[in-house]
Amino acid sequence: MALITLDIGAAFTRIQVASEPILTVASEAAYDLDHKSVKVIGAKAPEEVLRSGSKTKLVKIMRQGAPADPEAVSGFLKQALRSVGVRSFARSEVLFAATTHASQLDTASLKRCIEGLNAKPVIPLETPIAATAGIDEDVLGEVGTMTVVLGESLIEAGIVSFGKLAARATSATGVSSFRNAIRESVKTTCDLVISDEVANDILTQLIDFQRTHSGAQAKIWGRSLANGESESGVIAEDTIYAAILPSLDLVTQTVINCIAQAPNQLVTDVADRGVWLLGGGAHLSGLAGELERRLGVEVHTIPDPELAVIRGLSVIHASNPSKIYW
């Protein structure tokens, strides 16, 4: 029986079949409205929608840990597996990361999407537990390990001990929250509408969360609110930082809320051992250092932090899964 592990996120889906390389695909699909089927998945989906016109719509398959469209999720997974040479889920055991932000009904809905592809058994595992295994920490040990997974639309903080989540906190605040704040700031300051791509460039190239703000400025291009034409504008680093500060505060507060729920011994473990910042948001320049300053504990990062969860699923399965599955 083959093992398939899934980390289905709002921005990217990661799939691993047995010990094969991890496949990363953008979590969107071009959905054929006439035939009610997925035509193209991943980065090529928007291009297919433009080419096909009104007969096709672009579908984001996940929304804050829940399937946005169950049919699209199933079609997306079928195509993703075919791209790595797997024709069917049949006779496959599937282990997938289940966000602690989603309700049990949402998790059950995602499980049914996968079961509908003839996979058996299909087992959900809480994201912080998978993340802990993904950084090579002892999931079953008594010493608490705290991870903070900052994804596209969510932040999940969790403390794992004895194979269970001893404390957790989530917030609908992710990297997209920073980008949205930047877009609104540019709209207000420069009277320009910018794309997500431009907002992301500003976030990743202009902002360093630990840098002393020097008054640096950046020239940007967008559509004028006045006439819709392409125009340029200038935005200051300090203006952008002020715009994203509320999102940064929410990230910090989510971590604090998680620690506040933990027993005293686990709080001591976190103080002694620090916190691991994971997910795509861990790549944001200076964020780990700024959280360290705010929290007063060491904040660790790892290479490829966005892969911690998918790697952890395989690690858990290979060790002793019966002790920690839901």
Residue 72 three-state SS: helix
CB contact at 8 A, 8 and 61: yes
Please list, in sequence order, all residues whose beta carbon lies within 8 angstroms of the beta carbon of residue 156, skipping any fewer than 6 positions away. 99, 100, 101, 127, 128, 148, 149, 168, 169, 170
CA–CA separation, 39 vs 75, rounded Å?
8
pLDDT by residue for the chain (326 residues), tens only, comes to: 688 999 999 999 999 998 899 999 999 999 999 888 999 999 999 999 999 888 899 999 998 888 888 889 999 999 998 888 887 777 788 999 999 888 888 999 999 999 888 888 899 999 999 999 999 998 989 999 999 999 999 999 999 999 999 999 999 999 999 999 999 999 999 999 999 999 999 999 888 888 766 678 889 999 999 999 999 999 998 999 999 999 999 999 999 999 999 999 999 999 999 999 999 999 999 999 999 999 999 999 999 999 999 999 999 988 865 544 54
Q: Which residue has the tokens 């969360």?
A: 209
Residues 14, 163, 168, CA angle at the centre, nearest 5°? Answer: 70
Q: Where in the chain is the domain with CATH 3.90.640.10?
A: 175-243
Task: Report the DSSP pairing between strands 217-224 and 192-193.
Answer: antiparallel
CA–CA separation, 257 vs 267, rounded Å?
12
Structure tokens at 29: 């699909």
Q: Residue 105: exposed, middle, or buried by beta-carbon count in 10 A (0-12, 13-18, 19+)?
A: exposed
- CATH number of this structure's domain 175-243: 3.90.640.10
Q: What 8-state DSSP symbol labels residue 70?
A: H
* Superfamily name and number for 138-173+246-304: ATPase, nucleotide binding domain (3.30.420.40)
- State the number of CA atoms in the 13 A half-sphere of 275 facing the CB: 31
CA–CA separation, 210 vs 281, rounded Å?
15
Architecture of the structural domain at 2-120:
2-Layer Sandwich (3.30)
**How far lies 214's CA from each of 65, 177, 201, 239, 286, in Å?**
38, 24, 19, 12, 15
CB contact at 8 A, 247 and 254: no
